[in-house]
Amino acid sequence: MKILGKTATALLLIFIVLISTVPFLWVLLSSFKTNSEILSGVLGFPGGIHFINYVTAFKLAPLVTFYKNSIFIAVFGTILNLAVCSMAAYVAVRVDFKLKSLVTLMFSMGLIIPGAALIQPLYTTLNLTHLYNTRLGLILVYTALGMPTTFYVMVSYIKTLSYSLEEAAYIDGAGFVRTFMQIVMPLTRPALATAGVIQFLLCWNEFQLALTLTGATEKRTLPIALYYFKSAFASDYGAMFAATVVVVVPSIVIFILLQKQVISGLAAGSVKG
């Protein structure tokens, strides 16, 4: 029975790996194929390595501009989100105040409100504040959208930390802010990595709000590039697949590099609630 159970588990894991990786591998291989090879419908290796597809993709669309916008918005949207939510989570865990339940409830509400319901209010707000069609506007929007998730990841992890280190810091004369910056923040690196990866992927892959809240090509991000130039790619599938690879690879690389911190952060936060 044990052998049967292990075999079933191995087969299940293999199945999960296949359905997770095969689509990406298909796109990756197709990015090196010619149009005739793609249209033939054969699932296999390309007859040759055609890097011209990547060259064509960068010629057909200003991917460099979209890349710069995505990197700028994702990096600063992640940093701002982590800075605000880590402080909010620490206060929510360590400080008792009258509106504590209300603050926690507001973060909870952010998890259940659908993104489509926010489009009109966000569009109106950004117009009134002259932040429509700006990178700063998208940074602020993405920072706010990721707050509920980041807040609860940080809260769960901070609850697992022993209060004795903070008490020792207070006894030595450290204030609330210094204790947070020098004691708590270094200890929460796994949680910061977890929340940071989640927030970065949100900023990098988000499409609907980026399309609605920007109008100029020079302000748009990579997901919009694929949609905006789909007519240009319509007759060149190799270039379309090449552009898709260019969009998704950075997020995959970041997750691979930080996967240990992400897993440890999630596991630690689930031990104590």
pLDDT tens-digit readout, 29-65: 888 888 888 877 667 778 777 788 888 888 877 888 8
Report the pLDDT value the prediction gives residue 273, as an integer from 0 to 100.
43
Do the beta carbons of residue 244 and residue 252 sit within 8 Å? no
pLDDT of residue 239: 83
Give tens-digit pLDDT for 147-199: 999 999 999 889 888 888 888 888 888 888 888 888 899 989 888 988 998 99
CB-CB contact of 186 with 144 (8 Å): no
- Cβ(205)–Cβ(214) below 8 Å: no
Question: What is d(CA 132, CA 212) in angstroms, rounded to the nearest whole number?
Answer: 9
Counting residues of the chain whose pLDDT is more than 70, the rounded percentage is 92
- How many domains does one find in the chain? 1
Whole-model pTM?
A: 0.84
Question: Distance between the two ends of the chain, CA-based, in angstroms?
Answer: 36
Domain annotation covers residue 1: no
Determine, yes or no, domain membership for 120: yes
- pLDDT score at 264: 67
- Determine the 3-state secondary structure of 206 from DSSP: coil
pLDDT (0 to 100) of residue 199? 93
What pLDDT is recorded for position 241? 86
Q: Using CA atoms, how far apart are residues 57 and 166, in angstroms rounded to an integer?
A: 53
Name the range with the highest mean pLDDT among 7-21, 132-146, 201-215. 132-146
Residue 129 has pLDDT above 90, yes or no: yes
Residue 176 lies in a domain: yes
| Rounded average pLDDT over 88-114 | 86
Q: Which DSSP category does 51 fall into?
A: T
Q: Is residue 43 part of a domain?
A: no
Q: Find how far residue 148's CA is from the centre of its chain.
A: 14
Answer yes or no: are the C-beta atoms of 220 and 69 closer than 8 Å.
yes
In a domain, 27, yes or no: no
Quote the pLDDT of residue 34: 84
Q: 100 lies in which domain range?
A: 50-269
Tokens of 98: 């009258």
Check residue 162 and give its pLDDT. 85
174 or 74: which leads in pLDDT: 74
pLDDT over 50 (residue 272)? no
Among residues 210, 202, 199, which one has the least CA distance to residue 69?
210
Whether the Cβ atoms of residue 71 and residue 79 lie closer than 8 Å to each other? no
Does 23 map to a domain? no
Give the CATH number of the domain where residue 180 resides: 1.10.3720.10
| Residue pair 229/57 in contact by the 8 Å Cβ criterion | no
Distance CA 150, CA 126 (A): 23
Q: Which residues contact 80 (CB under 8 A, 6 or more apart)?
A: 139, 140, 143
Query: Is 25 contained in some domain?
Result: no
Tell me whether residue 5 is in a domain: no
pLDDT for residue 123 is more than 80? yes
Question: Counting every residue, how long is the chain?
Answer: 273
